[in-house]
Amino acid sequence: MPKGIYNVPRAINEPVKSYAPGSPEREQVLKTYKELYNSTVDIPLFIGDEEIKTGDTKRLFPPFDHQHNLGQYHQADKPLVEKAISSALKAREKWATMPWEHRAAIFLKAAELLAGPYRAKINAATMIAQGKTVHQAEIDSACEFIDFLRFNVQFMTEIYAQQPVSSEGIWNRLEHRPLEGFVYAVTPFNFTAIAGNLPSCVALMGNVVVWKPSATQVYSANVIMEVFQKAGLPKGVINMVNGDSAMITDTLLESPDFAGIHFTGSTGVFNSMWAKIGQNISKYKTYPRIVGETGGKDFVWAHPSSNPIEVATALSRGAFEYQGQKCSAASRAYIPASIWGPVKERVVADIKSFKMGSPEDTSNFVSAVITEASFDKLAKAIDDAKASSEAEVIVGGGYDKLKGWFIEPTIIVTTNPKYDTMSTELFGPVLTIYVYEDAKWEESLKLVDETSIYALTGAIFSQDRYAIDFAAKALVNAAGNFYINDKPTGAVVGQQPFGGARASGTNDKAGSILNLLRWVSPRTIKETFIPATDYRYPFLGE
């Protein structure tokens, strides 16, 4: 029983370490990288209190060296997915009633472990598994993940503190119950922080979870499970299953105890899940919560008053860091003709200076894309652009999959603002630019708004306040994260809650109180101190 109304440590963003030559963090992460790279793992399924090895395995390898062996992970069959459901529901019996401060303590401890003893390991694993540079790993798997854990604890207490008013003789209370059933967390490859946050923020609110990481992130997901266990998370609260995505999803979504989905990934996959939930709706004991952050076709728009060097830098960083594989990465840009010359000169020079290769060589700015399928899709888009009369590849355009899935950072300039790569999400280091006539800057905003189905992130550049105001209004529904004179990537937990609308998701804003509210079901309690003893109201009197 809690014997106090506790305050939690005030959340502050984890400082980003520099990894500059000679720094202790650099030495440590590279040492850990070598150790991990030269050993193999055998990753089980985490179901209830068991770590299960089925023998049905898949090989693990880094995207920048696909012949290198990192070990294997085991895959679940349908009975094991069903076992994950029953294990979660069994864990729920104790977890859902555990006082909140103990749940908070577990995840605050996980944050401390990541900030200290596990920092090098989670970063090195992310560099290896997902092909991130040390800086990209640090801002994701260390800092963002730590921020999610710490801020969510604070948001949880803010939710619990929200209480209704009471009137004379009665006490009204709101109890924020966990959902009745289990939650299915499905995570993408591109952020270790998202992989950790989607199951953990749900569990923090008292729920139990079956978590399916992406097949290309299992390696670092295994480190996440290690951290959660070390932090004292009871077995069965988060069950990690891998294997055939469609079979796992079908099995979980058929369960009457399915209470919600916390998804991040592509729009098509989320749509298919929503459709299945719709088909099964009468099977469920409770209406499930459906939360999904999905695809994007994020834009940079420049006004004629903008500074060309600032615009070019936003493109170099915003479109190409982590090989353009951030959901927020700029992949289409609209530049006025009057500044295109200097923008082009700078961005082309920047891209030519990027080094590409293994993240172990910290002078590399970019590495390989995640899979062969992604490589093939990007290579085809580049070839199509080379062959098109409406497009020109002005820098990059090369690709090579001999050792890893390497796509050169590429810029396509198109004369057709509706050209395919202005609207289709490619999810790689390919940016398409449309140069517009300065006088048509207002019309160009209509193009930005109407060219893609997505509305995730977008950036405008201008030094003219009237133009900023005009563009912000014209693009009011074009992005859930809107940037003025900044690149459209790099949202920070607690500062820029993240998510988009239209085909980019349900916009439940990861890393904010809004998201956590989806994982509780409030019960209103009215307690009357002196109950009525006569049904007659005064108006009935003679």
Please give the positions annotated as active site. 293, 327
Among the residues of 296-440, which ranges form H helices?
Answer: 308-320, 337-353, 372-387, 420-423
**427 touches ligand NAD by CB under 6 A:** yes
Window 440 to 469, contacts with ligand NAD (CB under 6 A)? 456
Question: Cβ closer to ligand NAD: 108 or 407?
Answer: 407
How far does Cα 369 stand from its chain's mean position?
A: 17
- Tokens linked to 479: 């992005």
How many Cβ atoms sit within 10 Å of the Cβ of residue 514?
14
Query: From the list 13, 157, 245, 313, which residue makes contact with ligand NAD (rule: CB under 6 A)?
Result: 245
**Which residue among 95, 189, 365, 483 contacts ligand NAD (CB under 6 A)?**
189
Rule CB under 6 A: choose which of 62, 131, 296, 497 binds ligand NAD: 296
Q: Judged by CB, which is closer to ligand NAD: 293, or 408? A: 293
Q: Which residues pair with 299 in a beta bridge?
A: 332, 458
Kindly tell me which of 186 and 460 has the beta carbon lying closer to ligand NAD. 186
425 lies in the binding site for ligand NAD (CB under 6 A):
yes
DSSP 450-504: HS-SEESEEEEE-S-HHHHHHHHHHTTTT-SEEEESS-S----TTTS-B--EETT
Q: Which of 294, 306, 414, 507 binds ligand NAD (CB under 6 A)?
A: 294
293 binds ligand NAD (CB under 6 A): yes
Site for ligand NAD in 480-519 (CB under 6 A): 498-499, 504-505
The enclosing H or E element of 406 equals strand 406-407
d(CA 195, CA 136): 15
In 3D space, the residue among 454, 160, 523 whose CA is nearest the CA of residue 295 turns out to be 454
Q: Which helix (H) or strand (E) holds 79?
A: helix 78-95
Cα(322)–Cα(329) distance, integer angstroms = 9
Cβ distance to ligand NAD smaller for residue 188 or 397: 188
Q: Which is nearer to ligand NAD, 137 or 395 (CB)?
A: 137
- The H-or-E segment that residue 228 falls in is helix 218-230
* Window contacting ligand NAD (CB under 6 A); options: 145-153, 287-295, 441-449, 511-519: 287-295
For residue 503, how many other CB atoms are within 10 A of its CB? 20
What is the per-residue binding string for ligand NAD in 316-345, x denoting contact by CB under 6 A? Answer: -----------x------------------
Binding residue for ligand NAD, selected from 265, 359, 409, 458, defined by CB under 6 A? 265
Would you count residue 234 as binding ligand NAD (CB under 6 A)? no
Whether residue 159 contacts residue 90, with contact meaning beta carbons closer than 8 Å, is answered with no
Nearest of 406, 417, 347 to residue 382 by alpha carbon: 406
375 scored as a contact of ligand NAD (CB under 6 A): no
Least distance between ligand NAD and beta carbon 280 (Å): 14
Q: How far is the CB of 189 from ligand NAD (least distance, A)?
A: 4
Minimum distance from CB of 77 to ligand NAD (Å)? 16
Task: Tell me which DSSP letter residue 324 carries.
Answer: G
- Residue pair 500/477 in contact by the 8 Å Cβ criterion: no
The alpha carbon dihedral of 538, 539, 541, 542 has a sign of: positive
Q: What's the min distance (Å) between Cβ of 128 and ligand NAD? A: 17
Q: Select from 108, 269, 300, 426 the one that contacts ligand NAD (CB under 6 A).
A: 269
With CB under 6 A as the contact rule, the residue among 214, 410, 452, 462 that binds ligand NAD is: 214
Residues that bind ligand NAD (CB under 6 A): 186-191, 194, 212-215, 245-246, 249, 264-266, 269, 272, 293-296, 327, 425, 427, 456, 498-499, 504-505
